[in-house]
Amino acid sequence: MAVFGTKHLGLKSLSIVLAALLWMLVSGERIVERSVRIPVEFTNLPPQLEVVGDAITVVDVRLRGSSGALSRISTGELTALLDLRSARAGRRLFHLTGREVRTPFGVDVVQLTPATVSMTFEPSGSKVVPIVAAVEGEPADGYLTGTVTADPATVEVVGPVSALARLTEAMTEPVSVAGKDATVVDSVTVGVADVSVRLRQPMVTRVTVNVTPAPVEWAVAAIPVRIHNAFGVTAQVTPSVVTVHVRGPRETMASGADAFEATVDVSGLRSGLYQLPVQVVPPARIGVVRVDPRELRVQIR
């Protein structure tokens, strides 16, 4: 036994010296308290339950330790871990103590605020809802937005049963039809507006927006033709009016000839006789099908 004690005498002596040095180092620092705000993490939530309402996300904790130890604590190093394995449906109370906070050596938890946490739980459920695609913008003049379809057309959503009961549809990112004169097809992300529920799996759907010609066509007669860019010359156009065949929603049929702008551009032309095209600008939501006549006789002097 004497030999055994002698063999480990050096290790024992070293341990005593290190302990003494550590005591001297710590004892030379003041014991202080410091308050910090730390995040709360949940663990062991039963799979058949959902947290509803505004669950606590942070708590204030007062720490005690040497000034050096407290100064070395970095942001995010401390977390309050709340064990929810005993949770049941309804409103429940949980106590927070220093045991729920992992602290570095030499740092103790004095107090947590709040010390009691109230949380509400509901049974978890699932529901299949239709996907309603969002469409933005107006198609080209003379065209209308028709049927909108999504493929897949439905998605499975999970969450608290009360929120699922209120949920009637899922949404998509907007599909733009601005200025379009043909069918638009786009793949977009699916989501739900209620943050308390979520998709069973992330999902993308293929949205088809049918853009079709407006159902009504008519003719607008006697639209006067104006000369553009006749700088330093005299120009005469024959005939002086045109008829424009247009397409648009029925409610725009009241637009008269004065709502259209018909012009002939003579910029850069010298004296002579020309056949020039007519440019027609219709009112909003009306598209031009054809102009009669398409070209006009222009005499420049």
Residues 204-237 pLDDT 10s: 999 999 998 887 899 999 999 999 998 888 999 9
pTM, to two decimals: 0.60
Q: Note the CATH architecture for domain 29-114.
A: Beta Complex (2.170)
| 261-265 vs 216-228, strand pairing mode | parallel
Best CA proximity match to 164, nearest among 131, 197, 120: 197
Residue 2 confidence (pLDDT): 47
Q: What does the block give as tokens for 61?
A: 């904790």
pLDDT at position 9 is: 65
Q: What pLDDT does residue 6 have?
A: 55
Domains 124-213 and 216-300 share a fold: yes
- Domain residue spans of the chain: 29-114, 124-213, 216-300
**In the prediction, which pLDDT does 281 show?**
95
CATH assignment of 216-300, given 3.90.960.10, 1.10.287.1040, 2.170.120.30, 3.30.450.20?
Answer: 2.170.120.30
Q: Which residues contact 156 (CB under 8 A, 6 or more apart)?
A: 126, 127, 128, 199, 200, 201
Q: Is the peptide bond before 249 cis (omega within 30 degrees of 0)?
A: no
CA distance 145 to 133: 13
Give residue 3's pLDDT. Answer: 47
At 67, phi and psi to the nearest 5? -60, -35
pLDDT of residue 75: 64
Q: Is the peptide bond between 160 and the residue preceding it cis, with omega within 30 degrees of 0?
A: no
Using CA atoms, how far apart are residues 298 and 285, in angstroms rounded to an integer? 31
Say if domain 124-213 classifies as CATH 2.170.120.40. Answer: yes
Residue ranges in the chain whose pLDDT is less than 50: 1-4
Whole-number pLDDT of residue 15: 72
Task: Look at residue 17 in the predicted model and tell me its pLDDT.
Answer: 63
| Residue 21 confidence (pLDDT) | 59
Q: Read off φ and ψ for residue 81, nearest 5 degrees.
A: -105, 115
